[in-house]
Every structure is written in C-alpha cells, then in structure tokens.
Structure 1
Amino acid sequence: MKMKKMKKMMAVLLGLSLVTAMSAGPAFAADKMPAFKNNKQMVEYFWNQVFNKHNTSVIDSMTAPNYIQHSPGFADGRQAFEDGIQGFLKEFPESKAVIKHIGADGDLVFIHNHITLNASDRGQAAVDIFRVKDGKIVEHWDVIQDIPEKAENSNTMF
C-alpha cells in the first residue's frame, strides 16, 4: 500500500514539475539573455534581436511596461510597441536595421543605423535614441531620412 501511495505522489510531483517548467518557458528564455556591462551593450543587443533577428520576444523583458514613445507612428506603452513592430516585421520580413555607429551618454544610447526593407531597397538613415532606467528601455526617439538616389557630395550618410 505504501508503494502505491509513493508512486502516486511521485506521478503528481512529476506532473507539477512539468507544468511548472512549461509555464516558466519565457523565464528560461530571459535567463539566456547575456549579462550586460553597460546601457550601450544592452541596447545594442535589444536592437539586433528585434530589428535584425526579428526576435520580438525580448521586448517584454527589456522594455518598461509604460514605455514612452516619441516616434509619431507608435503609441506609448510596451504592448503598443510590440504590436507595431510585429506588424512591421510581418509586412517587411526581409527588413534590417544595421548599426553603423553607437554611443552612450549616461542613461541615453544613440544608434545611427541603415534601415532597408529588402535587398533592393536603398533605405533610410536613422538615428534612434533610447533612455534606459533600472536595466529597462523606458523611452525612445528617432529621426529618419530617406537615402537619395543622388547626392550633392560624395560622402555617404554613414
């Protein structure tokens, strides 16, 4: 009789462990996130995950719920940002935003990047600015300019 109870208890414990592990899935993914030495490194990782690897799952763990957005195409809030980015990536699955320059000043991180929607797109030059607080991205600004077919000088935009 004792053996039967023990087997039943083990089965219940194993089932609970499996349910717990399955429900903790996103936490395991967050655990795999690298340790960041500074804000610049953290924002660079975030940028490349979202805009170059199209991994939007990092948005939940790396942005504040009350994320403030200054880009006129997005509403405030983490969920609005995530929804907007997922829609953009669905519409432009070949898009990339390659970092050309990155810098930081205290809680602000600046990224100068080249956005393209596909391999044949000339693209846009952009500067994105992120404010970081307590290890989360809390605010964002951007300035975006189309790359012209012809320039008045021989310099690139990067």
Structure 2
Amino acid sequence: MSLERNKQTVLDFYETGLNQKDFHAAAELIGDHYVQHNPRIADGIDGFKAFVETLRQDFPDLRAEVKRIFADGDFVIAHVYGVRVPGQPGTAIVDIFRLDPEGKIVEHWDVMQPVPDTVLNQNGMF
C-alpha cells in the first residue's frame, strides 16, 4: 500500500470528477464496488455518474480545492473548500475515502459545513 499513491488518486479524483466533471476519467479511479455514505448520492458507479451529471448541469463552475490531505492505511482524508457558484462563500468539507489494495476508491463519507458570512474569530475555516 502506498500512502502517497492513495493521496494522489484522491487528488486526481477531485480534479477529474468534481472540477472537470469528467465522469469517465474519474471512474478509472473507482473500484468495482463503490460504497457511498452521502445520503444524497446513490451507491455504486451509477450513483457517482448521476452525481457528476447533476454537477455539470446545475453547477458547471463548481470548484473543489483540497487544502489538506492525509493518508492512514487504506484511508485518505481531505479538508476541502468547495464553491458551487463563484462569488458565494462556499462550504468547508471533510471527505474520507477508503481505497482498495490496488489504489482504487471503494468507499466515501463526507461532512459539510457552510462557510458563514460572519464569524466570532479570525482563524478561518481553512
């Protein structure tokens, strides 16, 4: 298992699947059995395909910027700044991926929090 390889796979997944909205390129990074824990996305490769199609249609300018990425065993955790529509405050996201021994993404969890307009500290979310 290569931690650096797994991190690069996840970075490539963000770039191809979310930023470029290229389902076919991102699908190459997904294993045969993909388990999705986000309740708004269906399981499997077909669920991911539908998600990318929705992004392409509803949020063509969506950008996901990975601020931090960590690997531990077969897990990769990313701290991400997501902006669906340019000019909006966006969302702070923590994504957790599990990769198989071949380095393919086989499971995904996420936690999301809107970036607020007003804050009680100056530390920032990223």
Q: TM-score, normalised by structure 1?
A: 0.73
User: What residue ranges of structure 1 are gaps of 5+ in the alignment?
Assistant: 1-35
Cα deviations across residues 112-148 of structure 1 (Å, max 9, x unaligned)? 1111112211000001111000221000000000000
Please tell me whether residue 77 in structure 1 is matched to residue 44 in structure 2.
yes
Please tell me whether residue 40 in structure 1 is matched to residue 14 in structure 2.
no
Shift of 1:74: 0.9
Shift of 1:37: 5.3
- Matched to 2:72, the amino acid is D
SS in 2 for 1:152: coil
Matches within 5 A, 1:104-123: 104-123=71-90
* Residue 103 of structure 2: aligned partner: 135
* Residue 61 of structure 1: aligned partner: 28
Q: Distance in 2 between matches of 1:95 and 1:60?
A: 19
Deviation beyond 6 Å, 4+ runs, structure 1: none
- The CA RMSD measured in Å over matched residues stands at 1.5
* Aligned partners of 2:5 and 2:103 also within 8 Å: no
Shift of 1:67: 0.5
SS in 1 for 2:96: strand
Cα deviations across residues 42-92 of structure 1 (Å, max 9, x unaligned)? 111111111122222123321123200011101111111111221122111
- Matched to 2:14, the amino acid is W
Identity %: 38
Please tell me whether residue 98 in structure 1 is matched to residue 65 in structure 2.
yes
Q: Which protein shows a greater Rg?
A: 1
Q: Distance in 2 between matches of 1:152 and 1:86?
A: 37
Please tell me whether residue 157 in structure 1 is matched to residue 125 in structure 2.
yes
SS in 1 for 2:110: strand
Q: Distance in 2 between matches of 1:38 and 1:117?
A: 28
Specify which structure has the bigger relative contact order, considering alpha-carbon pairs within 8 angstroms and separated by 6 or more residues.
Answer: 2
Alignment coverage as a number of residue pairs: 123
Cα deviations across residues 5-61 of structure 1 (Å, max 9, x unaligned)? xxxxxxxxxxxxxxxxxxxxxxxxxxxxxxx95111111111111112222212332
SS in 2 for 1:104: strand
* Aligned partners of 2:36 and 2:42 also within 8 Å: yes
Higher percent of residues as helix: 1
* Aligned partners of 2:7 and 2:76 also within 8 Å: yes
